[in-house]
Chain A
Amino acid sequence: MWEAISNQFALLQSWIFQILVQPALYALGLMSWDELAFDGTELFLIGVIELALLYVIFRPLELLAPVEQWPNRREANVDFLYSMITKLGLLPLFFFLVLTPAFDYLNGSLRLAGIIPPNLEDFVPALKDSPVLSAVTYLALFDFFDYWRHRLQHRFGIWWALHSLHHSQRQMSFWTDDREHLLDQMISGAWRGMLGLLIGVPPAQFLVVTLISGAIESFSHANVRLSFGAIGERILVSPRFHRLHHAMSVGHDGPHRGCNFAQVFSFWDVMFRTANFDATYHPTGVSDQNEGADYGGGFWAQQRLGLRRLWQAWS
């Protein structure tokens, strides 16, 4: 069955690429990009399927066991726009058009200086022969680096000025995962790209890692009353565990400026003593919203106000 689905997907990707994308590249004199654009077409289609699956699977769960009942979904719906931008447009484009050439330039300069960045497989040859072991290892490594990126987003005032937009959502749903300031998204992309350069992550694995971590992170933001149990909570980030990270006056305070920073594997929080297993389901948001702080209602207002907070934090 999986093979049949994969074949249908390949057919669709090939059809879209050959009918729409490649002729456009040819007409614009951009055929050098055709292989990257082919990968981009795959990423776009996966994004469409991912968005559909997220809705089909997580929305019923939110209806079945919601943490909060809202009179309307006006605030939550803005986050869908972020998901569209992230999964279908901005992130893949930024990745292919800006990050890839930038890191290739850096990589090329290192080679001219006699330095060949190592691949993870050079140290762990077994990864070469096992796609599953390889995917899990890359997932854990990326998650480890994302944990520390997330710690820094809360630690430094200028970064928090951008990241607080993600936390300002009071109607937290499975779309909230992608609610990030565009500048913050780019910084995160560069962070991940740097790791990719350091350990030589192949594009196929990058795609797998992005998909798995994206699905888990979307689920952890869902408006669902769900815990993974005493052991499961210490392995994988659940909606309950991550809700505490978004909890007003809990998730952004204390000595670490928050708790439960992990994105996929909660054991990073256990390991670095930032885990909070309180079973209470708190309202979400940033404390200063109670004092009238405005994070914006729509997409553009949120982007503008994010830049203003950044400027204020900087100056």
Chain B
Amino acid sequence: MRICFLALLLSVALQAANTAIVLNSADETVSIIDTTSYNVTKTFRIGKEPHHLMVTPDDTYLIVANAASNELVFLDRATGEEKRRLKNISDPYQIGFSPGNKYMVSASLRLHRCDIYSGSDFKLLKRIATPKGPSHVIFDKAGAFAFVTLQDSNELTAIDLEKQQVAWTIPLGKQPAGIWMTPDDKHLLIGILGQDYVQVVDWRARKTVKKIRTGAGAHNFIPVGDGRHVFLSNRASNKISKIDQQTLEVVDELPGPGGPDCMDVSADGKQLWMTSRWIRKVTVVDIATKKVVKQIPVGRSPHGIYLYAHAARK
């Protein structure tokens, strides 16, 4: 009996370790994929316009931000099972927790606002009107600022989290999208969707220090997991750039067919999984051989993706 129970636990643990969770933003569904067999094991409705996802600070749940449903849905990270639904979170396109988890910031791309919530109980603290198209959010290490790209006004804005107001705003290239902070807390890397580069901003000096040429439609980041490199998806040129965060150079390129968007790296660092936005598929690339090993049909306009067994977020 005890052996059976242990076997069952082991089986559940193994199954859980092999899960990918994908948000199909135009279908309002979530696809659960077995990362070993590459089969979609389950698809279920989640809510309107699920775009981005984020793990809770205690690493317990995966939060799906349903932009048009005005809600956050908490899923079991391993199975995708719904655990909780939090209403009245206005138009959450992308969310992020400040280091220390004091605040959760929600960017409302469509409605041109950023909302600051308490990171512990999700109580709304402040709603801030911004210029057009607040898109992606990142924080400094101290958790003093939230940096938000403004996709339609071509700017970067810094929100002072204690004062809960905009501290400063600077111009960027056309349609800035994904944003990433280098490990030394010095530079912001910003994917310039309307052009072909990553804009490097020294946020303390509030100035651009470099433009790293990557590919048309530079879009979003995910760390490789080695603490030094990040992958960047180039949506219009269908490729992935590997960027060295120390030298601020492109060191490698991978294929990214069908409009690559969000990505995740497998725990063993061997595979890069990405949503291929324009072809209704998830694409899996072998990082060493730079070959597409699998394309998995999912729903319409797949956006956020999460691997249960993922590489370190550093």
Q: Which residues of A contact B (CB under 8 A)?
A: 7, 10-11, 13-14, 17-18, 22-23, 26, 29-32, 34-35, 38-39, 104, 107-108, 111-112, 116, 119, 121-122, 128-129, 131, 200, 202-204
**Distance to closest chain A CB from B100 (angstroms):** 27
Least CB distance, B280 to chain A, in whole angstroms: 5
Nearest residue (CB) in B for A106 is: B111
Contacts of A128 in B (CB 8 A): 45, 47
Closest residue of chain A to B70 (Cβ to Cβ) is A116
Contact of B236 with A38 in the complex, beta carbons under 8 Å? no
The residue from B90, B127, B278 contacting A38, defined by CB atoms under 8 A apart: B278
Bound-state Cα–Cα, A14 to B277, Å: 9
Q: A108 touching B112 by the CB < 8 A rule?
A: yes
Do A116 and B175 touch (CB < 8 A)?
Answer: no
Are A116's CB and B47's CB within 8 A? no
Contact, CB under 8 Å: B301 / A119: no
14 chain-A/chain-B pairs, Cβ below 8 angstroms: A10-B300, A14-B278, A14-B279, A18-B238, A18-B259, A38-B277, A104-B110, A107-B111, A108-B108, A119-B70, A129-B45, A131-B45, A203-B49, A204-B26
Neighbouring A residues of B300 by C-beta, 8 Å: 10, 204
Min CB–CB distance B202 → chain A (angstroms): 25
B47 touches A31 (CB 8 A): no
Task: A112 to B49: give the CA distance in the assembly, Å.
Answer: 21
Q: A22-B236, A26-B217, A202-B28 are in contact. List 7 more A-B contacts (CB 8 A).
A: A7-B297, A10-B300, A23-B236, A26-B216, A128-B45, A200-B69, A202-B49
CB-based contact B127/A122 at 8 Å:
no
The interface bits of chain B over 271-307 (1 if a CB of A lies within 8 angstroms of the residue's CB, else 0) are 0000001111000000000000000010011000000
| 9 nearest A-B pairs in the assembled complex, by CB-CB distance | A108-B111, A31-B194, A202-B48, A14-B278, A31-B175, A32-B175, A14-B279, A111-B90, A31-B193
Chain A residue, CB-CB nearest to B173: A29
Find the A residue at minimum CB distance from B44: A129
Q: B37 an interface residue at 8 Å Cβ cutoff?
A: no
How long is the Cα–Cα vector from A203 to B236 in the complex, in angstroms? 24
Knowing A18-B259, A18-B278, A131-B45, say if A26 contacts B194 (CB, 8 Å).
yes
Residues of B within 8 A of A7 (CB): 297
Tell me if A14 and B111 are in contact (CB < 8 A): no
A17 touches B278 (CB 8 A): yes
List chain A residues, Cβ under 8 A from B26.
39, 203-204
Count residues of chain B with CB under 8 A from any CB of chain A. Answer: 42
- CA A18 to CA B278, docked complex, whole Å: 8
Q: Does B256 contact A (CB under 8 A)?
A: no
How many Å lie between the Cα of A116 and that of B111 in the bound state? Answer: 12
Q: Which residues of B contact A202 (CB under 8 A)?
A: 28, 48-49, 68
Given the interface contacts A108-B108, A129-B45, does A34 sit within 8 Å of B235 by beta carbon?
A: yes
- Which residues on A sit within 8 Å (CB–CB) of B213? none
| In the complex, B129 has a CB within 8 A of chain A | yes
Q: How near does chain B come to A257, taking the closest CB pair, in angstroms?
A: 38
Contacting pair A104 B175 (CB below 8 A)? no
In the docked arrangement, what's the CA distance between A86 and B119, Å? 47
- A32 and B301 within 8 A (CB): no
Task: Tell me, in angstroms, the Cα distance from A172 to B26 when the chains sit together.
Answer: 37
Tell me the nearest residue of chain A to B280, going by C-beta.
A10
Cα of A18 to Cα of B234 in the assembled complex, Å: 13
Name the B residues within 8 Å of A129 (CB-CB): 45
Return the contact of B279 from the options A10, A32, A108 (Cβ within 8 A). Answer: A10
A11 to B276 Cα, complex, angstroms: 12
A116 lies within 8 A of B235 (CB) = no
Q: Does B241 contact A (CB under 8 A)?
A: no
Partner of B217, one of A31, A122, A203, A204: A31
Complex Cα spacing A108 to B111, Å = 5
Residues on A with C-beta less than 8 A from B111 are: 104, 107-108, 111
Give the chain A neighbours of B151 by CB distance below 8 A: 32
Q: Taking the nearest CB of chain B, how far is it from the CB of A103, in angstroms?
A: 10
Q: Identify the closest chain B residue to A203 (Cβ).
A: B26
